[in-house]
Structure 1
Amino acid sequence: MFGTTNKLSAAGWSIRDTILWVFGTTVACVMIWLLHQELLLVFLATLFAVSLRGASEWIRRHTGLPTRWAMAVIMILVVVAFIGFWWWVGPQLVQQAIDLGKTLTQEGGNLASRYGHTNWGRSILEKLSSAGSQAAEAMAGSMLTAATSTVGAIAAFFVLIVTMLYFASSPDLYVKGLVTLVPQSRRARVHEVLGKVAAVLRWWFLGQLIDMAVVGLLTTIGLLIIGMPMALALGVIAGILTFVPYFGAILAAIPALAIALGQGMHMTLLAAVVFGICHFVEGYIMSPMVQDRMVKLPPALLILSMTFLGSLLGPMGIILATPLAAVGLVLVSEFYVVDVLKDESGRDVTGH
C-alpha cells in the first residue's frame, strides 16, 4: 500500500488529483448509465469505422488508390457479396430456417411425449410451460412497445451507418477533437494510445470475421457429411453466434442437438463431435493466429466482463463485452500502469 503511495507521489499524483479523479470517474459512470444505449451505438460505429478505415488503407498501400476510393470499393464489395449470398443461398436458407422452426416444435413435442412421464421430465415441462405463459403475456402486453422499438432500431441502424462513414472518412478530425480536450503536454501520448486502441479494435474485428466464416463453413460441411437436416441454417446460426465468445458456441449447438436427439443418440453424438471439432479449430488454430496482434485478454476477465456488462447494459453489453474489455485494458495499462505507476510492463498487454 505504502509502495503504491510512494509511486503515486513520485509521479506527481496529489490528493487534489485523486479527489478530482474520483469525482470525474463518478460523473462519467452516471453519464454512461444514463446514455449507455447511445454510447454503445457510438462505440459500434467506431468499431466498424476503424475496421473499414484499416481495410481501405491496406488497399491504398497495395493498389495506390486514394483512401476514400478504397473505402467506396470495400462498401461496393460488401453490398455485392451480401446480395450475391442471398441470391445464391437466400431462398434455401429461408426455407431451412422455416423448417428448423417447425422441426424444433415437432421435436419438442416428441421429447415431451417420450420423457414427460418421468419425474425430471414433468419438472422441466412445468417450468417451460410457466415460462412460456409468462412470455406470451409479456408479448401480448408489449405490441406497441415492440413496434416503437422496431422504428427505433431502423433509425439507429441509419445513424450507425452514417456515423461509421463519417468516422471512417475523416478519422483525424475526430481524433484531433478528442486529443484537444487534454493538456497540450499529454496530447502526443493520448494520440499514441488511441492509435493502439484502434489497432486492437481492428484486429479484433478481423479475427471475429475470420472466426465466424470458419465456424459457419466448417459446421455446415460437417453437418452435411453426417447427414444432418437443415445443415445450412444451422451452420449460419453457428457462424453468427461465434461473435459472442464461449456462450455463442453453446447457444448454436442447442438447436442442432435438439434436432439430432430426435433422430437418435448416434446422430446426437455425431453432431456434438462436429460442433466440438469446429470450435476446437476456431479456438486453438484460427484465434491464436490473430490474437498476437490483439490485447491479451485473460479468459476469466472476459467472462466476468460479459456477465457484468450483460447485467448492466443488456444483450448489446454481452455482444460488445470483448472489444469493450480490450479497450478498457489498453487504457488502464497505458494510462495508469505505464504513465502513473511508471511500470513499462503495462505495454505488454498489446502485441505492439
Structure 2
Amino acid sequence: MAATRKQASTSTAASAAAKAEAHEEAPGPTEIRSQLVRTELLKAGVWLGLALLVGVCIVLIQPILLIFAGIVMASMLDGGTRLLGRVLPIARAWRLLIVCLSLVAFLVWTMMFAGSQIADQAATLQTVVMAQIERIAAWAADHGMGNFQLDTKTITDNIAGTVGRVTAAVGTVLGGLTSLVMIVVLGIFIAIEPRLYERGVAWMLPMKSRENFYITTARMGFTLRRLMAGRLLGMLVEGVGTWVACLAVGIPMAALMGLLTGLLAFIPNIGAIISGVLLVLVGFSAGTDTGLWAIAIYFIVQTVDGYLIVPMVAKKTVDLAPALVLGAQILFGALLGLMGLFLADPIVAMIKVALEREAERNAGDAQTKTAADS
C-alpha cells in the first residue's frame, strides 16, 4: 500500500514537471508588439537625448567655450612644435618647451620695452576717440543730419553692455586672468600629448566608428593648425605694418595702434572694422593730412593681409565664405558674448570639416551599394 502511494506521488510530480516544462511565456499587458511603435519610441528617445544634450550645453556653455579655447591654444602650440621639428630634430617635449619659453620671452620683452609707452597711450585713447566722435556729431548737426547729444558715460556703458553672458561671468580682472590661465594650462596639457586625449575619446565610441573618428579629428587638427597659423601671421603683419607706417607718417599713439590692430586681427571682419575706425579717428585728431594717411595705411595693410597672407596660408585649407563667418560672429557674439565672437571662426571651420567628412562617407557608402547591386 505504501509502495502504491509512493508510486502515485512520483507520477504526480513527474506530471507537474512535464507541465512546467511545456509552459510557454505569453506577451503581457505592457509588451509592445508593434514594430512601428518600437521604432517611434526609439526615435523619441533619440530626440529626447538630443534635447537633454542641448540643455546641458546651454547650462555649461562657459566651461565648454573655455575647453574649446584651450583646444585652439593647443593647436597653435602644436603647430609651432611641428614647425620647429622641421629644423630642429629633437624630442617633441623639448620643442614644445622652446615654443612656450619663446612665447613667454616675447611677452616679457613687450611689457618691459613697450609696456609703459602703451599704457600711457591707452590712457589718452578714450579721450581722443570721444573727442573725435563729438566732432563728427557736431559736423553732422551743422549739416542738418540731426542733433546728436553724446554722453561719454552712456556710450561707454552701452559698449560694456554688449559683452554678453560669458564675459559677464568672467568680467572682472581676476576672472579674466583666471580664465586666460586656464586656457593656457589646458592648451599646454593637450599639446604635450594630444594622442592620449584622442584615444580616450575614441575609447568611448563603438569599434566600427573609431576609424572615422580618427580621420575626422586628424583633418580637424590640420585645419585648425593652418587656420591659426594664418591668423597669427596676419596679426603679426597687420600689427607691425600699422606700427611702422604710423611712425613713418607721424600718426599719434603708433605703438598702441599697432598693438590693437594686431590683436583685433584675430577676429575676422569685425576686428578689421574696429581697428580701422580707431586708426582713422586717431589720425584725424592730429590733422587732416594724418587722417588721410591713416585711411591709406588701413587699406594697404588690409589689402596685404587679405590678398597675400590669407590665400597663402589659410584658404588652402579652409575656404570659408565671408558672409558665413560674419553671420556666425553675429550669432555667437549675441548668444555667447565676447568669447563666442573670438571663437566663431574656429567653430565654423570645425563644423565644416565634420560635415565634409560625413558627406564623403555617405558618398562612399552610396558607391559601395551601387557596386554591390550591379
* Counterpart position of 1:198: 221
After superposition, the C-alpha distances for 1:278-299 in whole angstroms (9 at most, x for unaligned) are 0010001111011244222122
CA distance in 2 between counterparts of 1:262 and 1:49 reads 41
After superposition, the C-alpha distances for 1:84-107 in whole angstroms (9 at most, x for unaligned) are 122222222222222323333444
- Kindly report which structure 2 residues correspond to 1:54-65, keeping only aligned pairs within 5 A, or say none: 54-65=79-90
CA distance in 2 between counterparts of 1:135 and 1:276 reads 29
Please give the TM-score of this superposition, normalised by the length of structure 1: 0.81
* Counterpart position of 1:4: none
- Kindly report which structure 2 residues correspond to 1:1-40, keeping only aligned pairs within 5 A, or say none: 22-40=47-65
281-290 or 213-222: bigger deviation: 213-222
Name structure 1 gaps, 5 residues minimum. 1-13, 139-144, 345-352
Tell me whether 1:240 sits opposite 2:263 in the alignment.
yes
CA distance in 2 between counterparts of 1:293 and 1:48 reads 21
- Letter of the aligned partner of 1:98 in structure 2? A
Tell me whether 1:49 sits opposite 2:74 in the alignment.
yes
Q: Among the aligned pairs, what percent are the same residue?
A: 24
CA distance in 1 between counterparts of 2:322 and 2:152 reads 36
205-214 or 221-230: bigger deviation: 221-230
- Letter of the aligned partner of 2:268 in structure 1? P
- Letter of the aligned partner of 2:357 in structure 1? E
After superposition, the C-alpha distances for 1:156-182 in whole angstroms (9 at most, x for unaligned) are 223222222221112111101111122
Which of 213, 221, 231 is the equivalent residue of 1:208?
A: 231
CA distance in 1 between counterparts of 2:270 and 2:100 reads 31
CA distance in 1 between counterparts of 2:329 and 2:171 reads 28
* Counterpart position of 2:339: 316
- Kindly report which structure 2 residues correspond to 1:1-352, keeping only aligned pairs within 5 A, or say none: 22-108=47-133, 110-111=135-136, 117=142, 119-120=144-145, 122-123=147-148, 125-126=149-150, 128=151, 131-132=154-155, 135=158, 149-335=172-358, 337-342=359-364
RMSD, aligned α-carbons: 3.0
CA distance in 2 between counterparts of 1:17 and 1:61 reads 52
Larger gyration radius, structure 1 or structure 2: 2
Task: Say if 1:305 and 1:325, in contact at 8 Å, map to a contact too.
Answer: yes
SS at match of 1:320: helix
Q: 1:137 to 1:192 in 2, by over 3 A?
A: closer
Q: 1:33 to 1:238 in 2, by over 3 A?
A: same
CA distance in 2 between counterparts of 1:83 and 1:247 reads 29
Task: Say if 1:110 and 1:262, in contact at 8 Å, map to a contact too.
Answer: no
- Letter of the aligned partner of 2:273 in structure 1? I
- Letter of the aligned partner of 2:231 in structure 1? Q
Q: 1:150 to 1:226 in 2, by over 3 A?
A: closer
User: How far did residue 119 of structure 1 move?
Assistant: 4.0
Please give the TM-score of this superposition, normalised by the length of structure 2: 0.77
Task: Say if 2:280 and 2:291, in contact at 8 Å, map to a contact too.
Answer: yes
Aligned residues: 323
Q: 1:304 to 1:22 in 2, by over 3 A?
A: farther
CA distance in 1 between counterparts of 2:246 and 2:109 reads 23
